[in-house]
Structure 1
Amino acid sequence: MSPEKSTPKFTLNAAFFQEIKDDHQQLQCVLSRLRELEFNRAAIANHAKEFVELLAGLLDQLAFHFTLEEAYGYFEDALENAPRFHEQAGSLRGQHSTLFVMCQELVDAANACIAHRDRDLTPVLDRFKAFDRSFKAHESAELNLIMEAMTQDVGVGD
């Protein structure tokens, strides 16, 4: 009798998955509205307060989003059987603080504009656009890493 080969397993807690899903939807909702405002720059002066409030909300949502990713360790679950991806995962985790600081600086700059009654938010809009590109690239890289780890090292069920 030959010993049974153990198959790597990936488990996902349903409650955690729901929390991640809810967080993702809330984050996308805030980002979607910010993108609309950034795209319609001609009307931003009429929506400056909303834009600043949304940026502050984005900062809070990012804090929660990154905390979920780091505290629940879904990276670790996906990478448990794929140790060759640990360095890349660490690099992506390290981007969380950079992205958070970028967003904090956006909030500060937007608040300064409002405090000085400066309705020209063009520099803040430009910085938001750069942040948004960086955040999209980060989220895409995280997803790609997890999918690659799951499909290459854990395998897909055929």
Structure 2
Amino acid sequence: MIRSLLKECINAAFLKEIKDDNLKLYSLLENLRAFWLVSDPLVLNPEWFRTLISDLRDQLALHFALEETFGYLELAVDVDIFLSSESARLKKQHVDLYLEIVSITENIEDALYPDLNERLFLDQLSRFNDFYRTFQIHEAAEFDLIMSATYGNNKRKNISDFEVSNRK
């Protein structure tokens, strides 16, 4: 019996479009970033943080679902081994990232109700800081993967060409 193993790869055009069109996600991340820059519940409203983090959790669920549905593919064809392994690694990170933001969101709820638990709240700001950095690294790696799939090994040299060609 001949079996073909499915290999992970990306649809670079769709993956880039998903990222380019998700302005709400990046707006939420920037608004949330203010909390760990200041991280003083007396200055910033913890309820606002709770609302933003809940919206981020929901937006990430949508973002990852779109990426996994349209941006990542499993094919039984010859795929570059680097692209395949990097695609599989980055796709797998979606679960860990999502579970982390869900946990932070739940702990924020616990920190606010019935009364503000300042220590738990500040701990979640710190966790969000770590999450934010990890998510930025993940997004940068997906961008590099898009460049590799589009331009091969010359991805860094041709970034300006990529941006110009996609504006048309």
Tell me the TM-score normalised to structure 2 length: 0.73
How far the C-alpha of 1:75 sits from its partner, in A, is: 3.9
Aligned 1:8-87 pairs, distance under 5 A: 12=13, 17=17, 20-23=19-22, 25-43=23-41, 46-72=44-70, 74-76=71-73, 82-84=79-81, 85-87=83-85
Aligned AA (1:134): T
Query: Do the aligned partners of 2:148 and 2:154 also contact (CA within 8 Å) in 1?
Result: no
Distance in 2 between residues matched to 1:39 and 1:154, nearest whole Å? 36
Contact 1:31 1:58 in 2 (8 A): yes
CA RMSD of aligned residues (A): 2.8
Tell me what 1:129 maps to. Answer: 129
Question: C-alpha deviations, 1:35-82, integer Å up to 9, x for none?
Answer: 01221222556410010110000000000110111111x3449xx885
Q: Alignment identity in percent? A: 25
Q: Verify: 1:149 aligned to 2:161, yes or no.
A: no
Q: Is the 8 A contact 1:45 1:119 kept in 2?
A: no
Task: Give 5+ residue unaligned stretches, structure 1.
Answer: 1-9
Question: Normalising by the residue count of structure 1, what TM-score does the alignment of the two structures yield?
Answer: 0.77
**Which consecutive unaligned segments of at least 5 residues does structure 2 have?**
1-10, 162-168
Moved over 3 A (4+): 10-13, 43-46, 153-157
Q: What is the distance in 1 between the residues matched to 2:87 and 2:42?
A: 37
